[in-house]
Amino acid sequence: MTIRIAGIGTSLPEKIITNNDLAKSIDTSDEWINERTGIRRRHVGGVTSRMAIESGRVAMADAGVSPDDIDLLILSTTTPDQRFPATSAVVQSGLELSCGAFDVNAVCAGFLYGYVTAYGLMSIPGGPSTVLLCGSDSLASLTDWTDRSTAILFGDGAGSVILERHEQGDLLGWDLGADGNLQSILYCDHGDFIQMEGREVFKKAVRAVVGSVDKALSNAGLTADDIDVFLPHQANIRIIEAIANRVGIPMEKTHNVIADTGNTSSASIPLAMAKAQANGVLQPGAVVCMTGFGGGMTWGTAVVRW
C-alpha cells in the first residue's frame, strides 16, 4: 500500500503586524529582525479551530473529496481553543465530518508526528483510507508583545493536507525524536507567555534536525543528493540555512514562507508545502523532505515520494 498527499489548504488571519509596527513599541528594528531571523511580517488574531476549518475546507476542495470521504481527522496544535474538548472536535463539527478526530501536541514538530501517526493508522488492515491532517496554531495569543526576544518571532496560521491511499507516492523514511530534559529552554505555562532561551534553542535545534534528517534518509536508503524539495520548519532563516548547509541541501531546494508568516508552529511545514506547490516543484516522483523541531524538545522528519 502507498499513500500520497492529494490536497493542500492554508489559512492565515487578515491582521498583519510588520517589523516596523513592532519597532514602534519595542526596542528593535526591521533591519535587526530581518537580518537575524528572515522575518518581515506575521499574521495575528487567528483562532486555532477557525483557521483549521478554513484550511481543511481548501485542502478537501484541492483533493476533490467531500466531508463523507474523510475517515479520520488529526489536528496538530499547541494552542487548543479550550482545555477540552480537543479542538479537533470543533474542527470536525465545523467541516461537517462524521469520522474520528483527535489532537496531537508535539509543539512545532507536531505536523510530522501527525503525519507519521496518520501513515501508521492508514497502514493497519481496515484503517482509514482518507485522512485530513491539519496543523493550526495561534501562538500570537501566547506571545508577550512587550518582550523583544519572542515578539519578533511568532505568528498565527494553519495548513491542512489530505492523505489518501494511491499507487503514486509514499513515505520512504522517517524519524521522530524527543528530549524532555530540554523542557526549560522553550516552554509556556498555563496563563503565561512563551519563555525561550533563543540561542540554546537555535543550537539544539540545528543538531537535532540534522541528526533526524540523516536518520530518515538512511532509513529510506537515500542521501541528501536525492532530495528534490526541502520543507523545514519555519522558525528562523538562519536555522534553515544552517540545517541545509550541514545536511548538504542547496538553499534553492527549500521553499520558505517565514518572511511573511514568522514561526507558525504546527502550520509552518504545510504552509511551506503550499508555497512549494505554488512554485510548481511538487511533481509526481519528487523526493520531498519535511523536518521540524519544537518545545519539549521534539523533532521529526518525513521523507516522502510525491
Please give the residue ranges that form the binding site for ligand UT7 (CB under 6 A). Answer: 28, 32, 36-37, 108, 148-149, 152, 186, 196, 198-199, 201-202, 205, 235-236, 239, 263, 294
Please report how close the Cβ of residue 298 comes to ligand UT7 at its closest, in angstroms.
10
Closer residue to ligand UT7 in complex, CB, 3/33 = 33
Q: Closest approach of Cβ 36 to ligand UT7, in Å?
A: 4
Distance between CA 93 and CA 238 in Å, rounded?
A: 39
Q: Which residue is nearest to ligand UT7 (CB)?
A: 198
> Is the separation of the CB atoms in 75 and 188 below 8 Å?
no
Least distance between ligand UT7 and beta carbon 66 (Å): 34
Quote the CA–CA distance of 243 and 246 in Å, as a whole number.
5
Q: Is 245 an annotated catalytic residue?
A: no
Using left for φ > 0, alpha for ψ between -120 and 50, and beta otherwise, residue 243 falls in: alpha
Has 263 been annotated as catalytic?
yes
Q: Which is nearer to ligand UT7, 58 or 242 (CB)?
A: 242
Q: Kindly name the residue from 108, 134, 188, 289 that is annotated as catalytic.
A: 108
Q: Which is nearer to ligand UT7, 10 or 236 (CB)?
A: 236
C-alpha cell read off for 45:
488574531
Closest alpha carbon to 224 in 287, 165, 130: 287
Nearer of residues 130 and 301 to ligand UT7, judged by Cβ: 301
Q: Answer yes or no: 233 catalytic.
A: yes
> What are 230's strand-pairing partners?
254, 289
Amino acid at position 35, single letter: E
DSSP letter (8 states) at residue 98: -
CB of 152 to ligand UT7, least distance (A): 5
Judge whether 97 and 57 are in contact, CB under 8 Å.
Answer: no
**C-beta closer to ligand UT7: residue 149 or 219:** 149
Choose between 14 and 27: whose C-beta lies nearer to ligand UT7: 27
Which residue among 19, 105, 256, 263 is the active-site one? 263
Provide the minimum distance between the beta carbon of 199 and ligand UT7 in the complex, in angstroms, as a whole number: 5
Torsion from C-alpha of 273, 276, 280, 281, nearest 10 degrees: -90
Contact 130, 70 (CB under 8 A): yes
Q: Which residues pair with 138 in a beta bridge?
A: 156
Instruction: Give the nearest distance from C-beta 87 to ligand UT7 in angstroms.
Output: 19
Residues 240 and 126: their CA atoms lie apart, in Å, by 39
Active-site entry in 233, 236, 256, 289: 233
Question: So which residues are the catalytic ones?
Answer: 108, 233, 263
